[in-house]
Chain A
Amino acid sequence: MSDLKRIRKEFTECKKDLETSGLDVSMPDESNLLHWKATIKGPVGTPYEGGIFRIDIQLPSDYPFVPPKMKYETRIWHPNISSESGAICLDILKNEWSPALTIRTALLSLQALMSAPEPDDPQDAVVASQYKKNTAEFSSTAKYWTETYASGSNEDDAIRKLVEMGFEVDVCKRALKQFGGDENKALDSLLAGLA
């Protein structure tokens, strides 16, 4: 039985220092305290700078005695994160987990991992070998991935989805802006425009 009181407390704590930490958390389903979504700002001075990375967090039923399950939803080019699945290789999310760690400290560790990859303990062998052999090439690939997948938060994502439905890019942008980024309302208006 997980400690819901602690989870609620953690959630409020996380919300406190949005500005300084560059972290944000949310619960997509308010009734399910065990499923979180988080975003991490790419650390300054790394190829991830300027990117916003979405993380999916599942808290196991015996949290905090068992580590949370975290994975990147935003694609990222990093030696310790799978470029395919977003799976993370980080000791504190496995055997080094301690119940004194929190979601917030774990997310900060992820941010630190983005600043300082550990290519000797890789999750993605291709990225890790590139990181070791050709740092310049690694940086430019990671930067390119950041620009492609992690720039501009949810808005780009929404635009992409709407564009995939067959609307013009400019029209989509205008609609999204009109409804403050609300994807569903924008879609409704676009559909209404069609009719």
Chain B
Amino acid sequence: MADDESEMLFDNSCDDASDAEEDDDDYSEFEQPSLAQAPRPFRCLRPDDLREMQAAAVKRVAETLCCEPSDATVLLRSFKWDAERVISSYFENPEGVLEKAGVCGSSNRAVIDAAAAQPYQCPICLEMVTAFSALGCGHRACTPCYSAYVGHKIDDEGTAAVRARCPLVKCRVQLTDALVNALATDAQRARYAVYLERAFVDDHPRLAWCPAPSCTHAILMVQPADGAPLTGAARVACACGEVFCFACLRDDHSPATCEQLRLWLIKCKDDSETYNWLQANTRACPACKTSVEKSGGCNHMTCRHASCGHEWCWVCAGPWKEHSGNFYTCNRFKETDDEEVKRKDLSKAALERYLHYYSRYINHHSSLMLEEKTRQAMEDKIAEMQALGSNWLDGQYLKEATESLIACRHALQYTYVYAFYLPADNHKELFQMAQRDLEMTTEDLSAEIEKPVEQIVRLTVLHHQQMSERRLANLFNAVEAHRVAEAQAALEAAHVPGALSRPQSQA
């Protein structure tokens, strides 16, 4: 492929093709990664931008390695679209890279619908034929069979068609888009183009589709200057208005981490603690089915639920009437032992803890659900103000205040997820103080803008809004500072023993 390799010799010998996959980055990885995490820069790409980006990478590789664009595409796919890594790996070990990616060198070109000099048996239809198509590997099949094979891959195997191989047994050469496009029908070609684009975004570590329904945009994270790998949550906003976390594609959940959110959602879904506790501690009143907790005393239960008043035995759930006078003869009676009491206390405490965080989380969450309504209400208020004589521009501060309010509520709901998973320590104390402050001003702001139009005082609104924004920033700063400190501590713990054995390769 390359005409002159000596020109392109690289003096670092970091990875050969076989371990290229693990070794994702250059040596900067061994330096202290920068820990301060400014919001990471990202760009929103439209389908056209994606095509352009893909074409640029293909062009770069094809020109540097002097290969066909379709081979460059296959190479890039096997290197997660890192053009520089394709190029450097290729010059270190050309055969290895080509073989691993399933590409034939430029001396072996694909042949599309040619005629063979001698008739041969097509391996697919088993007929003697002369017409054939083949990839660079030279494995021939008659063109109708080859087309049927390609068509089958596109029609029946979905995105996997992008990684389809030569139809011959155990041949690892990848179908190239040039061959596919030559042999597929128009409809299949269009589908294949969609699959290629999907695979591009899915394979590229710094690209993710916007999760909003029917949005065709993708988000590109800008490569950190130090080459550090992308880890952890990152808030991104698509041009369509969807705001989400780049790492887990769920709603933006800062300050909670992706993992915390995942655990939390599972927890909320199965609501297991409520269930556990109800199981352990309550019984349904045999008459009205209300859950009854036994808070002490004897086993003679009298249901307090509204009009029920049913009297029953805690032990056997039978009507108390049958027990009167001979209570101790209830044959299923059993004294609760200490272990069971302890278990009940524990599950009750865990539930109460969970409910504490959950109720606050869900409270902000449901306020947010009314987001659109709130926005509409503000529009109405601004209109009302105009009617009262102020101009439209004057009313706009209300809109801004509403957006601030929504942002605060959004963050507040996830602060409870974050706090739920925090160990009880100094940081938690500090965090909860910041949380409380934010919550207070958020409620103040909310109360102020919900007042009737004539009672709203602009200065008060602005004051609350600024306070809220500042406190939101404070809270995020506290979380970030803590994260940095923890990462630093972990890094020191991990690095000190290993520092000597690590190659200090700043060539």
Contact = CB atoms under 8 A, between A and B. Distances in A.
A13 B121 CA distance: 14
B156 A99 contact: no
Contact of B168 (A64, A65, A66, A100): A100
Contact of A101 (B125, B149, B156, B169): B169
B126 A98 contact: no
Interface in B76-134: 123-127
B433 interface: no
Contacts of A65: 148-149, 152, 156
A24 B261 CA distance: 60
A66 to B, nearest CB: 8
Nearest to B151: A65
Point out which of A3, A62, A100 has the most chain B C-beta atoms below 10 A from its C-beta. A100
Contacts of A96: 169-170
Contact of B169 (A5, A62, A98): A98
A62 B156 contact: yes
Interface in A58-93: 62, 64-66, 92
A6 B125 contact: yes
Nearest to A13: B126
Contact of B152 (A62, A100, A105): A62
**Secondary structure type dominating chain A contacts:** loop
Interface string B151-162: 010001000000
Interface residues of A, number: 18
B126 A99 contact: no
B125 A98 contact: no
A105 B168 CA distance: 13
B136 interface: no
Interface string A3-44: 101100110010000000000000000000000000000000
B156 A98 contact: no
B167 interface: yes
Most buried by B among A3, A62, A65, A102: A65
B123 A99 contact: yes
Q: Which of B126, B141, B167, B171 has the most CB of A within 10 A?
A: B126
Nearest to B123: A100
B145 interface: yes
B14 to A, nearest CB: 33
Contacts of A6: 124-126
Contact of B170 (A62, A66, A98, A99): A98
A191 B141 CA distance: 57
B215 to A, nearest CB: 33
Nearest to A65: B152
A5 B167 contact: no
7 contacts: A66-B156, A92-B169, A99-B124, A99-B167, A100-B123, A102-B126, A105-B169
